[in-house]
Amino acid sequence: MTHLLEINNLDVKFDTDEGRITAIDNVSLTLDQGKVLGIVGESGSGKSVTAKSIMQLNPGNTIYNENAEILIDEENVLKFTSKNDLKKIRGGKVSMIFQEPMASFAPAIKIGYQMVEQLMIHKPMDKKEAKNISIDMLNRVGIADAEKRFNQYAFELSGGMRQRAMIAMALSTMPKLLLADEPTTALDVTIQAQVINLMKDIIKEYNMGVIFITHDLGVIAQVADDVAVMYLGSVVEQGPVNEILKNPMHPYTKGLINALPDINNLDAPLTPIPGNIPSPLDRPSGCVFRTRCPHASKEGKEGNIKMGLVEIKPGHWLDKCGVDCGKT
């Protein structure tokens, strides 16, 4: 069976004044139609860069490796050069909900106008139809008085309204692949639940594939089929959401779950993972987590273990070094 999306051996580096930053190191992922793949992980671990690579939205200082592949319907996006090819992905087959809603609406143009434009670029329809679809989508994401909000500027909406307007815009084009980067962080939990239900319905109805990036493990538990855990540019653990959340094996995944504030125990202290994230300018050799890992063996600490995922149970993949050196 072919996958909707297949990422193979992706490295992404950025050239900066201070040197070359490794943002993604040898990441491989697959996603099928109708499925939701959650990505969680440390701030700066490369979640947004992964999504932007799929859309070819990384800036000019980006360097991809020669043998990397990002296949959408078996076509390698990384080899796309012409405008027409890129048009197929951006907003056509693929839509992205950006982490920062303010950045995706032009400040001086009413949000409705931007939604209508988007739609008309990608689907043959007239203005009136595009307006009706847009207002309907605004309604469905729980924006009251949608006709009026349609005529407002992004800065006039609350943070959560902006985010919902962006979700409405991304869903209105009915993409095959939806990249949702922290789509519900600015929403209160009741509206979050409503938006998640809406997204689930639409995913089902149109058989979309979704990459859902969030640091909210509760949201991941509710929406994702599979989850990939990233740390400093590498996927360290991956598998069905149930398995990963109930039976985490990698020390980083365990630390993440342990850091969740427990609403049923307000006396428990908040427990971050000790130590600081290394700068991407000096990424540790070997296991990227070794500088903070409570279980690192001597060999692991010295950075001599090579990373790579191993299937420890059907569907549950764990970084090889986690298997080798994480015995406790």
Partner 1 sequence: MSENIVSVNNLSVSFDYQENFLSKKQKIKAVNNINIKIKKGSFFGLVGESGSGKTTLGRAILGANKISTGNVIFHDDGRDFDLTTINSKEMKEYRKKAQLIFQDPYAALSPRMTVRDIIAEPLEVMKITNSREETDARVRDIAAKCRLNLEHLRRFPHAFSGGQRQRISIARALVSNPKFIVADESVAALDVSIQADILNLLKQLQNELNLTYLFISHDLSVVAHVCDIVAVMYLGHIVEMAPSRELFSNPRHPYTKALLSSIPSIDPENKSRAIELQGEIPSAMNPPSGCVFRTRCPHASKDGKEANIEMGLVEVTPGHWVDRCGVNCA
The residues that touch ligand ATP, with contacts defined as CB under 6 A, are 14, 16, 21, 23, 41, 43-49, 59, 61, 99, 155-161, 186, 280
Please state at what angle helix 189-206 crosses helix 159-172, rounded to 10 degrees.
0
271 touching partner 1, by CB under 8 A: yes
Both tokens assigned to 277: 């994230």
CA distance 156 to 108: 11
Rule CB under 8 A: which of 238-257 touch partner 1?
Answer: 241-242, 245-246, 255-257
Choose from partner 1, ligand SF4, Mg ion, none: what does 67 bind? Cβ within 5-8 Å by kind. none
CA distance 68 to 28: 9
Contacts 24+ apart (CB under 8 A), 276-285: 277/42, 277/43, 277/44, 277/232, 278/232, 280/21, 280/22, 280/23, 280/44, 280/232, 280/233, 281/18, 281/19, 281/21, 283/22, 283/25, 283/232, 283/233, 284/232
- Which residue number, 202 or 232, has a Cβ lying nearer to ligand SF4? 232
313 touching partner 1, by CB under 8 A: no
27 touching ligand SF4, by CB under 6 A: no
CA distance 236 to 251: 9
Cβ(49)–Cβ(58) under 8 Å?
yes
Rule CB under 6 A: which of 211-270 touch ligand SF4?
Answer: 251
Both tokens assigned to 121: 């670029």
- Which residue number, 151 or 197, has a Cβ lying nearer to ligand ATP? 151
CA distance 324 to 222: 32
CA distance 250 to 282: 22
294 touching partner 1, by CB under 8 A: no
* Of 245, 305, 316, 317, the one binding ligand SF4 by CB under 6 A: 305
Both tokens assigned to 238: 């991956």
* Of 40, 300, 316, 317, the one binding ligand SF4 by CB under 6 A: 300
- The dihedral through the CA atoms of 165, 166, 169, 171 has a sign that is negative
163 touching Mg ion, by CB under 5 A: no
Options 56-64, 66-74, 137-145, 286-294: segment touching ligand SF4 (CB under 6 A)? 286-294
C-alpha 104: how far from chain center:
16
- Which residue number, 200 or 215, has a Cβ lying nearer to ligand ATP? 215
* Of 9, 100, 159, 258, the one binding Mg ion by CB under 5 A: 159
* Of 296, 309, 316, 317, the one binding ligand SF4 by CB under 6 A: 296
Ramachandran category for residue 255: left, alpha or beta (phi over 0 → left; psi -120 to 50 → alpha): alpha
In sequence order, the β-bridge partners of residue 309 are 319
- Which residue number, 1 or 263, has a Cβ lying nearer to partner 1? 263
* Of 295, 303, 304, 312, the one binding ligand SF4 by CB under 6 A: 295
Query: Under the rule (CB under 8 A), what is the footprint of partner 1?
Result: 16-18, 21, 40-44, 99-100, 102-103, 142-145, 148, 151-152, 156-161, 164, 182, 185-193, 215-219, 221-222, 241-242, 245-246, 255-257, 259-263, 266, 269-273, 276-277, 279-281
Query: Under the rule (CB under 6 A), what is the footprint of ligand SF4?
Result: 251, 287, 289-290, 293, 295-296, 300, 305, 321-322, 325-326
